[in-house]
Amino acid sequence: MAMVEIRDLRKKYDGGFEALKGVNLDIEEGEILALLGPNGAGKTTLISTICGITLPSSGQITVGGNDVIEAYRAARNLIGLVPQEINLEPFEKVINTVRFSRGLFGKPRNDALIENILKKLSLWDKRNSRVMELSGGMKRRVLIAKALSHEPRVLFLDEPTAGVDVELRRDMWDTVAELKRDGVTIILTTHYIEEAEAIADRVGVINSGEILLVEDKASLMSRMGQKELRIDLVDPVAEIPSALGEFELSLEDEGKTLLYAYDSAAERSGIGRLMAAVAGAGLQVRDVATSQNSLEDIFVGLVANQQEAAQ
């Protein structure tokens, strides 16, 4: 049984807008799933529906085997949520808002645990500061501390690093990695594809309320990942030599660079033969480099395909 199971989930708002159009998704215990999607794709609605903030129009969600409507207490006890917006009581002290969150989930006060969480998130020195005195990045850490205060088994991070500086982003990735080591299931939505590439085990792409794809990150990248070989020449050539005619090459950089596109997952890449042919044609090579398609390219391609299909 998956940690989170979503079956044919639909959400239609009162205005008639259909934010989720029959979403099916299984999230396994202990994995990190990154949900990618453009603005308005339904990422936040999906998370809000799982967490109980939004009521589904139809369909079923279970968390740890507990239906989020029928057995909401058991389900919600397992869930921690870091919302996208910085929603915090401005006049309260950091430590008190974190204690409040723990209490709200029915857990008895545990100062040692709260201290540990605040220290990990570099908030311990600020524990007696009022929330409004903190910087934006610090406030985001407070949101995470609140979400972790009741020791959740499933953590939702709704665009946790939007508008956050590089240092904090790295810190946050470290925190996520540590939680994963403790067996916490993590679902994060993000605009930043590099974020999904850096920390996710699986990647889901959502657009217009539909899940377009959920796949293991590595297999997704190798399946769809085109690679490119760049050969820099010492002396520029006016055109591609005829000896290299059997390869699909293009010429760039005023004849100084040969580009060779190939499929890294294919049995034979043809690189060995190409290099031999290049030497055979008398071309002198200055440098060689390969690059791989990023998730971003894959993502943009998927969304564009869906939009074309819709038209």
Taking the complex as a whole, how short is the minimal distance between the CB of residue 285 and other proteins, in angstroms?
Answer: 58
Contacts of residue 204, defined as CB under 8 A and 6 or more positions apart, other chains included, come to 25, 33, 34, 35, 36, 211, 213, 214
CA angle 102, 106, 109 (to 5 degrees): 50
Q: What are phi and psi of 17, to 5 degrees?
A: -70, 130
For other proteins, give the closer residue by CB, 146 or 217: 146
- Taking alpha carbons only, the member of 239, 217, 236, 237 closest to residue 299 is 217
Q: Could you say whether residue 73 binds other proteins (CB under 8 A)?
A: yes
Q: Could you say whether residue 92 binds other proteins (CB under 8 A)?
A: yes
Is 257 within 8 Å of 231 (Cβ atoms)?
yes
Site map for other proteins, 130-169, x if CB under 8 A?
----------------x-----------------------
For other proteins, give the closer residue by CB, 54 or 226: 54
Taking the complex as a whole, how short is the minimal distance between the CB of residue 83 and other proteins, in angstroms?
Answer: 5
Q: How are beta strands 185-190 and 32-36 bridged, if at all? A: parallel
* CA distances for 4 relative to 60, 79, 121, 240, 290, angstroms: 11, 10, 27, 54, 39
By CB under 8 A, name the one of 32, 35, 79, 94 that touches other proteins.
79
Q: What are phi and psi of 258, to 5 degrees?
A: -105, 135
- Total residues binding other proteins (CB under 8 A): 35
Which span sits near other proteins by CB under 8 A: 103-111, 231-239, 251-259, 275-283? 103-111
* CA distances for 138 relative to 115, 133, 169, 185, angstroms: 16, 10, 12, 24
Which span sits near other proteins by CB under 8 A: 80-88, 182-190, 271-279, 282-290? 80-88
Q: Could you say whether residue 87 binds other proteins (CB under 8 A)?
A: yes
Q: Could you say whether residue 91 binds other proteins (CB under 8 A)?
A: yes
By CB under 8 A, name the one of 107, 153, 180, 191 that touches other proteins.
107
Q: Whole-angstrom Cα distance, residue 220 to residue 296?
A: 12
By CB under 8 A, name the one of 9, 41, 101, 229 that touches other proteins.
101
- Residues of the shown chain interacting with other proteins in the complex, contacts defined by CB under 8 A: 13-14, 48, 51-55, 72-74, 76-77, 79, 81, 83, 85, 87-92, 96, 99-108, 146
